Amino acid sequence: MADRAVVIQELAGVVGTDYVVHEPEDLVVFEYDGSVDQALPMAVVIPDSTSQVSACVRVAACHGVPVVARGAGTGLSGGAVAEQGGIVIALTRMNRILEVDADNLLAVVEPGVVNIDLTHHVASDGLYYAPDPSSQRACTIGGNVAENSGGPHCLAYGVTTNHVLGMEVVLADGSVEWIGGKTRENAGHDLRGILVGSEGTLAIVTKAVVRLLRQPESVKTLLAVFADLDEASAAVSGIIGAGIVPAAIEMMDDLCIQAAEAAVHAGYPEGAGAVLLVEVDGIAEAVEEEAEAVEEVCNRFNPLQIRTATDEDERERLWSGRKGVLGALGRLAPNYFLVDGTVPRTKLVEVLSRIRQMSVDTGYPIANLLHAGDGNLHPSVLFDQRKPGDIESALEIGGKILEMCVEVGGVLSGEHGIGLEKQQYMPLMFNESDLDAMARLKPAFATNDILNPGKVFPSGASCGEFSQMAAVAKAGPGASA
């Protein structure tokens, strides 16, 4: 067993004593991510450069101590939780935008850059960064890369992996390598594609080359209001079936509308069973045509009303309700268990109907929030963890929802990753040979199992109670999906 005092002393020698957190009362802040309080690390180190990250990893490797990379802590699958103790490397000081190449539509950033700050930084050049998790005002690009994060606009523009060209990484022995680069194509195996979404189990990202897009000439945001969730779901399939691919199609049910409207006053109508938030962008003439086409399709499914944001303020207000809804669920219950699964769009009506029946059968309210255009579900089981048996019941419901997602041809995660939350469900999608093939990446990268151990794969203690508890989130400000 590593000598804790020696490890802390060596880390302090790398970054200075002010940037090593090791007192128990200070470590509590790093005990959890966006899920729930779980495990205290041995120490938290906050480096300022790639060379410091490298040196800290060497210290960990020398002592055989686990290493967990951490961004803003907004992850929702327990990925930043130091389940086996060890060293947490918090990358928030590495928050510099190192280069913007407007001609080639790319930027080089450090992992601690907050997602939306990059868009703000390049806005004067008429550019933006497309991936937009709902926590984009807080989450960092390094964490987005680790989890392959999505967001409302991933329907048209893709998730994080579609916007990362290359990255500088620190491997488990402390060595520094570049994977990919500044061009769209690189010879050899696609190691970039392997590392994006690997949840910090193979390497730690210290720089990323990301694609930038030009701001669209025109944007229109429509709010379609329905009396029934099934009609809203059918409208989603109708829009995509008509060959229309908007920038975003978001859906919220009546519980989400109730919570969001009380908290944000976004202008969602009372008494609605569901709303669709549809956004189209591009050349002005094409946007007008597409918006009209979306409205025409929605009118086939008996909407109560359809309205279009008349200016940027109204558009921002409509989106504020969508992006603030999970935090607002705290008005309805003290806790929620957030499920992140994806199903074929044609199965939305069936799946949401079955989720609604689960709620009736169990007595637990389930608030449904969806990146509906690509079938990414976020059902939130509302409960009170202070009541005996509530956590277990919520987890059981969540497990059944995940099983249903796979059963209808979907997958376990659309954007939050596997982490601790879903690892026991991996056999629903993969047989032993599949899991073994994926697990061989760790020795291929010579991780010695010190990089974020116990995550993703269903093995050991990470398959039991801990992984379930990590999926339980506390509703409140800053919650996101």
Q: Give the model confidence (pLDDT) of 350-369 as tens digits.
A: 999 999 999 999 999 999 99
pLDDT band at 206 (very low <50, low <70, confident <90, very high): very high
Q: Which stretch of 32-36, 75-79, 127-131 has the lowest confidence by average pLDDT?
A: 32-36
pLDDT band at 270 (very low <50, low <70, confident <90, very high): confident
pLDDT band at 279 (very low <50, low <70, confident <90, very high): very high
Confidence check: pLDDT of 461 > 50: no
Rg (CA), the chain: 22
Task: Provide the residue ranges of all domains of the chain, joining segments of one domain with +.
Answer: 4-90, 97-214, 218-326, 328-474
Q: What is the pLDDT of residue 236?
A: 95
Q: Which whole number is the average pLDDT over 49-78?
A: 96
Q: What is the pLDDT of residue 33?
A: 87
pLDDT tens-digit readout, 88-125:
999 999 999 999 999 999 999 999 999 999 999 999 99
> 328-474: same fold as 218-326?
yes
pLDDT band at 134 (very low <50, low <70, confident <90, very high): confident
The set of residues, in sequence order, having a beta carbon less than 8 Å from that of 181 and lying 6+ positions away, is: 165, 166, 209
Contact yes or no for 349/233 (Cβ under 8 A): yes
CATH class of 4-90: alpha beta
Give a three-class secondary structure readout of the chain.
CCCHHHHHHHHHHHHCHHHEECCHHHHHHHCCCCCCCCCCCCEEECCCCHHHHHHHHHHHHHHCCCEEEECCCCCCCCCCCCCCCCEEEECCCCCCEEEEECCCCEEEECCCCEHHHHHHHHHHHCEECCCCCCCCCCCEHHHHHHHCCCCCCHHHHCCHHHHEEEEEEECCCCCEEEEECCCCCCCCCCHHHHHCCCCCCCCEEEEEEEECEECCCEEEEEEEEECCHHHHHHHHHHHHHCCCCCCEEEEEEHHHHHHHHHHHCCCCCCCCCEEEEEEEEECHHHHHHHHHHHHHHHHHHCEEEEEECCCHHHHHHHHHHHHCHHHHHHHCCCEEEECCEECCHHHHHHHHHHHHHHHHHHCCCEEEEEEHHHCEEEEEEEECCCCCCHHHHHHHHHHHHHHHHHHCCCECCCCCCCCCCCHHHHHHCCCHHHHHHHHCHHHHCCCCCCECCCCCCCCHHHHCHHHHHCCEEECCCCCCC
Q: What is the pLDDT of residue 36?
A: 59
Confidence check: pLDDT of 456 > 70: yes
Angle, vertex CA 98, rays to CA 96 and CA 102, nearest 5: 125
Neighbours of 103 (CB within 10 A): 7
Confidence check: pLDDT of 69 > 70: yes
Q: What is the pLDDT of residue 1?
A: 72
pLDDT band at 38 (very low <50, low <70, confident <90, very high): confident
Q: What is the pLDDT of residue 473?
A: 41
Distance of CA 445 to the CA centre of its chain: 25
Q: What is the pLDDT of residue 327?
A: 87
Specify the residue for token string 């998790």.
133
Say what percent of the chain tops pLDDT 90.
85
Q: What is the pLDDT of residue 468?
A: 38
Q: Which whole number is the average pLDDT over 324-341?
A: 91
Q: Which whole number is the average pLDDT over 55-62?
A: 98
Q: Which CATH number fits domain 218-326: 1.10.940.10, 3.30.499.10, 3.40.190.10, 3.30.70.2190?
A: 3.30.70.2190
Q: Which whole number is the average pLDDT over 169-194?
A: 92
Q: Which whole number is the average pLDDT over 343-349?
A: 93
Q: What is the pLDDT of residue 459?
A: 63
- Check residues 398 and 481 and name the one with the higher pLDDT: 398
Sign for the pseudo-dihedral over CA of 134, 353, 417, 336: positive
Confidence check: pLDDT of 45 > 60: yes
Confidence check: pLDDT of 469 > 50: no
pLDDT band at 447 (very low <50, low <70, confident <90, very high): very high
14-23, 76-85, 436-445: range with highest mean pLDDT: 14-23
- Angstrom CA distances, 369 to 39, 97, 133, 150, stand at 29, 33, 14, 14
Say what percent of the chain tops pLDDT 70.
95
Fold entry, domain 97-214: 3.30.465
pLDDT band at 481 (very low <50, low <70, confident <90, very high): low
pLDDT band at 305 (very low <50, low <70, confident <90, very high): very high
Mean pLDDT of the chain: 92
pLDDT tens-digit readout, 413-444:
989 999 988 999 999 999 999 999 999 999 99
Question: From CA 116, how far away is CA 132, in angstroms rounded?
Answer: 8
Angle, vertex CA 474, rays to CA 468 and CA 477, nearest 5: 145
CATH class of 328-474: alpha beta
Confidence check: pLDDT of 68 > 50: yes
